[in-house]
Structure 1
Amino acid sequence: MTDLATPVAVARPGALRRAAPALLGYASVRVLGLLALALWSGARDKSAYTLLTARWDSLWYARVAAGGYGYEVRLPNGDVHSDLAFFPLLPGLERLLAAVTGASYADAGFVVSLLASLAAAWGIFAVADHVYGARAGVCAVLLWAVLPVGIVQSMAYSESLFTALAAWSLYAVLTGRWVTAGALALLAGLTRPVGLAVVAAVWTGAVTSFVRTRSAGAATGGATRTDGALGVTRAPALTARLPSALTAGLSPSLCPVLGMLLAPLGAAGYVLWVGHRTGGGPLGYLDVQAGWRNGFDGGYAFARFVAAKLTSFPSALAGLALIVGVGLLIRLYVAGVRQRQPLVLLVYSGTVTALALCASSYFGSKPRLLLPAFPLLLPLALALARARVTRSALVVGGVAVASAVYGAFWLNGSGPP
């Protein structure tokens, strides 16, 4: 296991070469999933590309990219589905790419998702490599790729973009790059509501760094200081690795503060803008979400949904599967605690998981909402990394095939809400 107190350069020589096995493995899994989807869709006279780029939420993002906000659908039951529920970074990138290349908004969304998924895989590798070493990093990326709903990573959805921003923000926190961490958290907050999890991680890392800095200063009479979320003792050279335009002339001790100030601006700015636009005040975004029957009830609606499944057969099997799935998530989180994952990762994955499970949204979307919680996979990645290569390859390969088949079946059925 990598020593967590060892300084790690932010841009190590050959970083891409070091991550290449993980990226190649990830690309292979995604190609397998897309091939399975193409074959399944072809057999049903459906377009796999349409399923990836022009269904469900993809259509909403494309509409925002094409004409800005202001579109809504009023349902017979009185619910109002407004495009204000969708955060602006992905449609903004779609609009920019379409303007530069002349591509359609659907094509632009697919390209953004493709590139973002690779960036996410690299970020996940960087985090896992920093904590447990390169082999565990490769395993973490492959496990993220073979998740049952991994096909969403190839859709014109915001999950891949958000995961990329979150992973690199977490890596920046772990390596003491506070302004970078805050800027990436800001962008994550413009991508999905769960950007709050990245903000929480940045704030946790900054506060932890401050406490350890004060403790180290008191113990040494102020002769040394620490930076980074893990208390790495260093010479005062942090600003040399931070964006010069943001840190020129800035005291290194203020960098965590600046990161904390930057982190919430994306999510807060969009939420306040929606409140102003709708006339609903600071909490107007919650009214928009309520129109979609989305909210946060501590998991009450989800618990009722699971309980209802248990009252009849064969739906009881689905209910039991949900209980087992939630139990597995809790067990993985506890395993991360026992393995002493960095606190910022525990805060991030815990917040993502809580927001996903405790929201009163479409219950079928919960596996998709959990995609960004990649630190939950680190205990499994470490176990795979310690096993023999052939055994790990067989396990990952078998799960990859099952995931590809399930993804093809899923999108050709009800698909992700």
Structure 2
Amino acid sequence: MTHARTLDATLAPSPVTPPGPTGRTAPRASRAVTLGTALGLFVLARLTGAAVLAATARATGQRPLTLLARSWDSRWYLGIAEHGYGRTLHLRPDLVFSDLAFFPLYPTLIRAVTTLTPLGGGAAGLLIAWAAAVVAAAGLYAVGLRLHGRAVAAALVVLWGLLPHSVVLSMAYTEPVLTAFAAWSLYAVLTGRWLWAGALATLAGLARPNGFAVAAAVLVTAAYEIVRRRGKVTHRLWTGAALAPLGWCAYVLWVGHRKGDLLGGYFEVQRLWGSRFDFGRGSLRFVRHLLLREDRMLHPMALLIVAAAVVLYALLLLDRPPLPLLVYSGVLLLITLGGSGFFESKPRFLLPAFPLLLPLARALAGTARARPWHAAVVAGALAGLSFGYGAYLVVLADTPL
């Protein structure tokens, strides 16, 4: 009961900024029940997706937990957790895979869990990812509640759990961890809790390369507030803004120091992985190849999801959302569109960009109020796509996510 009251108090609008467009706040007990319902639906969606994946894996003679815990990037994170940094694969002179490309927070958490519990690395990685996904879903609900009320908040959580690539939220990957820190950092900005915003942005920056988007949102919003108030802001805002980029910058500089090039070392590591920011030239070349020669489902689906993200960002702009959400989503989208290499992974890179779903969540919530069966059909169709495509990605598609 104490935890429920604490969470209700956290979700209640603070005096720093006004409530969302509805201008109303629900009673605390009602809000707690709705949060529980939203999280319950999210967990149900992910468990059902995992069950479909498990059935597919067993039908093909594979082990579902191994696929979820030790596929592709997961093996790199587990290696770092067990042995530290230092693994390098030389495939050819211009293609060298170094574990320095992977940020340290997730493997550090895995190592901590395996040290303190009898769990192995794979089980620890899944436990952290699953817990982070639930924390992230609660953060999405908090943001949605503040901006548009309970119905939109619940719809936002459900939609995030039913994205075509949401199977990643059930894997030993870092997207759930980043989204958890990002969602609560953005909520802290919306409610004027600048120290929390900066501290959570620091942790987001240690989770993934695109975690810098959280720091960008905090910094741009802080700069806007400083200009708007003509410098008359609290020391908490200055401190939060200073904290926000520390995690990301610290790791990038550490890798640079280790490689002998303080500012460019990390980006050289990424270049040798075949990943670099080239303002979209590499992506355009891949799309051209895709349209002319591709004969598999994976890459066209990735192209469709990325194109949908661009449309959703345009819709988000038209809704005039709070500045931190706009900056955060825009930076994630820019990194995804402007980066070359690993085109099949671009939908995964966009999983943390949950504000893009706000226009859809508002539409779904409105449909649920006016025509509940229509909303149920839409949700069912999304669930079928999510579960089936997720099983295909992990079990059948022979391409790293």
Question: TM-score by structure 1 length?
Answer: 0.85
Residue of structure 2 equivalent to 1:380: 360
Q: Judge conservation of contact 1:58–1:156 (CA < 8 Å) in 2.
A: yes
Q: Judge conservation of contact 1:185–1:199 (CA < 8 Å) in 2.
A: yes
Are residue 411 (structure 1) and residue 394 (structure 2) matched?
Answer: yes
CA distance 1:306–1:136, change in 2 (3 Å) = same
Alignment of 1:179-218 (within 5 A): 179-214=195-230
Residue of structure 2 equivalent to 1:94: 110
Are residue 398 (structure 1) and residue 378 (structure 2) matched?
Answer: no
Alignment of 1:220-235 (within 5 A): none
Residue of structure 2 equivalent to 1:138: 154
Corresponding residue SS for 1:381: helix
CA distance 1:395–1:262, change in 2 (3 Å) = same
Are residue 149 (structure 1) and residue 165 (structure 2) matched?
Answer: yes
Residue of structure 2 equivalent to 1:234: none
CA distance 1:6–1:42, change in 2 (3 Å) = closer
Query: 1:171 deviation in Å?
Result: 0.4
Deviation sequence 1:274-300 (CA, Å, 0-9, x none): 111111222210111112111100110
Q: Judge conservation of contact 2:41–2:158 (CA < 8 Å) in 1.
A: yes
Matches of 2:143 and 2:54 in 1, distance apart? Answer: 33
Q: Which residue identity is paired with 1:369?
A: F
- Determine which structure has more spread, i.e. the larger CA radius of gyration: 1
CA distance 1:278–1:403, change in 2 (3 Å) = same
Q: Judge conservation of contact 2:181–2:204 (CA < 8 Å) in 1.
A: yes
Q: Judge conservation of contact 2:280–2:339 (CA < 8 Å) in 1.
A: yes
Alignment of 1:120-135 (within 5 A): 120-135=136-151
Residue of structure 2 equivalent to 1:335: 315
Are residue 44 (structure 1) and residue 60 (structure 2) matched?
Answer: yes
Residue of structure 1 equivalent to 2:4: none
Residues 139-148 or 278-287, more deviating: 278-287
Residue of structure 1 equivalent to 2:372: 389
Matches of 2:159 and 2:21 in 1, distance apart? Answer: 26
Matches of 1:148 and 1:99 in 2, distance apart? Answer: 35
Query: 1:397 deviation in Å?
Result: 2.0
Deviation sequence 1:393-417 (CA, Å, 0-9, x none): 2211221122101111111122533
C-alpha RMSD over aligned residues: 2.3
Are residue 356 (structure 1) and residue 336 (structure 2) matched?
Answer: yes
Matches of 2:126 and 2:214 in 1, distance apart? Answer: 24
Corresponding residue SS for 2:209: coil
Q: Judge conservation of contact 1:165–1:185 (CA < 8 Å) in 2.
A: yes
Matches of 1:299 and 1:410 in 2, distance apart? Answer: 25
CA distance 1:409–1:322, change in 2 (3 Å) = closer
Deviation sequence 1:201-224 (CA, Å, 0-9, x none): 101221222233349xxxxxxxxx
Query: How many pairs align?
Result: 378
Are residue 80 (structure 1) and residue 96 (structure 2) matched?
Answer: yes
Corresponding residue SS for 1:161: helix
Corresponding residue SS for 1:408: helix
Q: Determine which of 170, 192, 196 is the counterpart of 2:186.
A: 170
Residue of structure 1 equivalent to 2:11: none
Corresponding residue SS for 2:339: coil
Corresponding residue SS for 2:292: coil
Residue of structure 2 equivalent to 1:301: 282
Q: Judge conservation of contact 1:307–1:319 (CA < 8 Å) in 2.
A: no
Residue of structure 1 equivalent to 2:8: none
Query: 1:71 deviation in Å?
Result: 1.1
Q: Judge conservation of contact 2:254–2:262 (CA < 8 Å) in 1.
A: no
Query: 1:67 deviation in Å?
Result: 1.2
CA distance 1:50–1:357, change in 2 (3 Å) = same
Query: 1:21 deviation in Å?
Result: 1.3
Matches of 2:155 and 2:83 in 1, distance apart? Answer: 41
Deviation sequence 1:55-109 (CA, Å, 0-9, x none): 2110100011011111111114552211111000000000000101021111100
Question: TM-score by structure 2 length?
Answer: 0.89
Matches of 2:304 and 2:77 in 1, distance apart? Answer: 33
> What 5-or-longer segments of structure 1 have no aligned partner?
216-250
Q: Which residue identity is paired with 1:402?
A: L
Matches of 1:314 and 1:287 in 2, distance apart? Answer: 32
Matches of 1:416 and 1:268 in 2, distance apart? Answer: 27
Q: Judge conservation of contact 1:8–1:130 (CA < 8 Å) in 2.
A: no
Matches of 2:150 and 2:31 in 1, distance apart? Answer: 11
> What 5-or-longer segments of structure 2 have no aligned partner?
1-17
CA distance 1:31–1:5, change in 2 (3 Å) = closer
Residue of structure 2 equivalent to 1:244: none
